[in-house]
Amino acid sequence: MAIVEKVIDASPQQVFDVLADGWTYSDWVVGTTHVRDVDDAWPRVGSQLHHKAGPWPFSLQDASTVLVCEPPHRLVLKAGLWPAGEAIVAFTLEPVGENATRIRIGEDFAAGPLRWVRNKVNDLVLHLRNRETLDRLADIATRQKGSP
């Protein structure tokens, strides 16, 4: 499993609030181009976020399903992108000091062709994508920190 971490200048609850807002995923998840729908129960276990990923006109429609939700410390998703496959994506949030959070994202392909295409190039691309994802998430969480 590829793991990337970052310390964000916001509390775990502030960071988790971004994770819990399914409508923001296309703003910070690299590769997700459009959120089509979010179940009212999001991010409760079993709820889904319906998304598009990839560039038009080749974008794929699929859904991500919540497998574990332990606010404000953990969220695990099964992210679909068929026919390419699906991945298990785990976010863990740990308080650091008074008002900061260490967030880790771990991602591993669980099914489909991408599961069998593991090599150093793919691992590097996934690592870079998840680093950018955490940078974008941090921007949103710290911006919301300043909101009333």
CA 144 – CA 135 distance, rounded (Å):
14
Nearest residue to 43 (alpha-carbon basis) of 3, 14, 16:
16
Q: Classify residue 55 by its DSSP letter.
A: S
Dump pLDDT digits (tens) for 98-142. Answer: 899 999 999 887 665 565 566 554 665 678 889 999 999 999 999
Model confidence pLDDT, tens digit, residues 71-85: 999 999 998 775 667
Fold of the CATH domain 1-143: Alpha-D-Glucose-1,6-Bisphosphate; Chain A, domain 4 (3.30.530)
Q: CB-based burial of residue 133 (10 Å sphere; 0-12 exposed, 13-18 middle, 19+ buried)? A: buried
Give yes or no for a contact between 89 and 107, defined as CB atoms under 8 angstroms apart: yes
Phi, psi of 144 (to 5 degrees): -70, -25
Q: Which pTM value belongs to this model?
A: 0.86
Find out whether 144 and 15 touch, Cβ atoms under 8 Å.
no
